[in-house]
Amino acid sequence: MVRRLTGFAGISVCMALACGGANPTGDLGIVIPGGDVSGEVRDVPAGPDAVRDAPVADTIEPPADGIEPQDPGTPTDPGTLTDPGTVDHGTSDPGTLDPGYLDPGYLDPGTPDPGTEYDSGGVGGCDPCGMGTVAGKTCAPNIKTAVGGVKVWVDTIDCSGNPVHIETHSNQQGEYTMQVPCGTQTINMLKGNFGGSYTRWIDKGKVTTMTSADACLSGTLAKIAVITGDWDEIENTLLLLWLHFTKIAGAAGEEGQTNQTAINFLKDWSKLSEYDILFLNCSDAGWPNMQSGEAGQIRANLKAFVAKGGSVYASDYALPYLSETWPGYILGGGWSAAGNSTYLANVVDPDLAAYVGKSQVSIKYGLGPLTCVTGIGANTFLSIDSTKPISGCSGTQMMMSFEPETNGGRVIYTTFHNDEQPKTGSDMQMILEFLVFLM
C-alpha cells in the first residue's frame, strides 16, 4: 500500500509543539466533568482471549489538582514554512510490515502475579510509635511496566502528634523507598495526569514492600481520548499498558477528505474538556481539518485544553493540529522524509536514556513519505535526534515536546509512527511507554 496525499498548494503554515510537567502539590487527580461522550470506549484486555472491543470504563471522579510546568517563554518565529503541496508518491514499496502486532494475543500483556496483599488491620508493633520503611515500584496498571519519575508522598501524623508531609520520587526504574510513621498509612502517587493511592499497615523498624496490583497507577484516573488515523495506532500501546480510553473516528482514507466526526469532537469544548489526554494518530485528515471552516474553533479548544492541564501527543501527518495551533515550536513541514528506513538516533533526554538504559537507539521509519521537521524553536525540548539527516529531509529531530502555557499541559510530537515500533525491539516499546506517562 502506498500513501496518497492530497496537497494544499498556496498554504503557508507554521509548525509547532508543546509540554507540561508533573503536579507537585499534595492533591491527587484531575477534575473530570461528567457528561455523554461520543465515540467508542476501549477497555484493557482481560486475558489471552481479549480483543480490542472491551467493556465500557466506569466514570471516575478524582479530586481536583493542578499541574506545574515550566514557562516556555516566547517561541521563535519560524517565518514562512514550506507547504506540502501536491505530492506524487508513485508506487514506492513500503516493504514487508509484519501485521502480527494486530493479533489479540500480542495485545494481551498476560496476567501478572499480583503478589501478596498486606493486611491493613496491622500485623506488627507500633507501640510506642516509631518509623517504618515503605519500599515499592511505581508501575503501569498492567503491573509489570515500570513508570519512572513518579512523585510518591504521605500526609500523616508523626509520632509527636504533628501533621507531616513526607515525599520522594521513584527512579527511572520505578523504585522508591520512604520512611514513614508506623501504623496504617495511605501512600499517594502522581505523574502528570496519572495517579493512584493505596493503604497499608507499616510495621515499626521493618520494610513493607508493595507488590500488589493496587500499588500501581490507576488505569482509569486519567481520562484519555484517541483520534484514530490512517497510518497509526497508539491504541496498541495503551492496551498493553491496560489504560482505558475513548476512541474517536478520525481516519480520512487515502483521498485526504475531511472527517467530520473528529472535527465535531475537537470543536465541541463540552466534549473535549472531559478528557485529560488527547492522542492524535497520523492521518491524511490533519491538513484538511485544520484548513476547514471549523479550524478556528479547533485551535481555540486545543489551546484551552492544554491551558487547563491537558496533554496532547501527535505523530507524523497529525502535525498540522499542532503547527496551526502553536506556531513557532516546530520548524519545517511537508511530506518529504523517506520511509522504509532505520536510523541510529541519540537519546537526548537523560530521563529517557536512563529508562531505556542506553544513549542510542534504532528508530524505524515504516510506510513513507513521512513529515520532514527541519528544526525546533528555542523553547522546544528535544528528546530523540537522528545521528544523520533523515533521507529526503535536512532535519534530524525525531521526538520533541514543549509547554505553551503557564501551569498548563504538555504537547509531544514524533516524526516516526507508533504502530510499528513495538515490532522493532524492546527499546522502541519502552520509548512509547515512557512517552505515554509524560502526559
When pLDDT is averaged across residues 353-376 and rounded to a whole number, the result is: 89
Which residue has cell 485551535? 299
In terms of domains, do 375 and 294 share one? yes
What is the percent of the chain where pLDDT is above 90? 51
- State which of 183, 215, 247 marks the end of a domain: 215
Does one domain contain both 207 and 234? Answer: no
Q: Can you say whether the dihedral through the CA atoms of 26, 171, 126, 205 is positive or negative?
A: negative
Q: What is the mean pLDDT of the chain?
A: 76
Looking at the fold, whether 76 and 155 belong to one and the same domain comes out as no
- Residue 417 CA to residue 409 CA, distance in Å, equals 22
307 lies in a domain? yes
Distance CA 424, CA 232 (A): 15
Structural domain contains residue 94: yes
pTM equals: 0.72
| Residue 176: predicted pLDDT | 97
**Range of 244's domain?**
40-107+219-436
| pLDDT classification of 341: cutoffs 50, 70, 90 | confident
Same domain for 281 and 372, yes or no, is yes
pLDDT (0 to 100) of residue 364: 84
Last residue of some domain: 169, 189, 215?
215
pLDDT band at 342 (very low <50, low <70, confident <90, very high): confident
The domain that holds 96 is classified in CATH as: 3.40.50.880
- Which of 186, 215, 244 is the C-terminal boundary of a domain? 215
In a domain, 243, yes or no: yes
**What are the backbone dihedrals phi and psi of residue 219, each rounded to the nearest 5 degrees, phi first?**
-90, -5
Q: Does the pLDDT at position 224 exceed 80?
A: yes
Query: For position 176, which CATH number holds?
Result: 2.60.40.1120
Tell me: do 249 and 318 sit in the same domain.
Answer: yes
Cα–Cα distance measured from residue 402 to residue 411, given in angstroms and rounded to the nearest whole number: 6
Confidence check: pLDDT of 1 > 50? no
Q: Are residues 102 and 228 in the same domain?
A: yes
184 DSSP β-pair partners: 201
Rounded CA separation 348/367 (Å): 25
Do 208 and 320 share a domain, yes or no?
no
Cell 525540548 belongs to: 381
Q: What is the pLDDT of residue 253?
A: 65
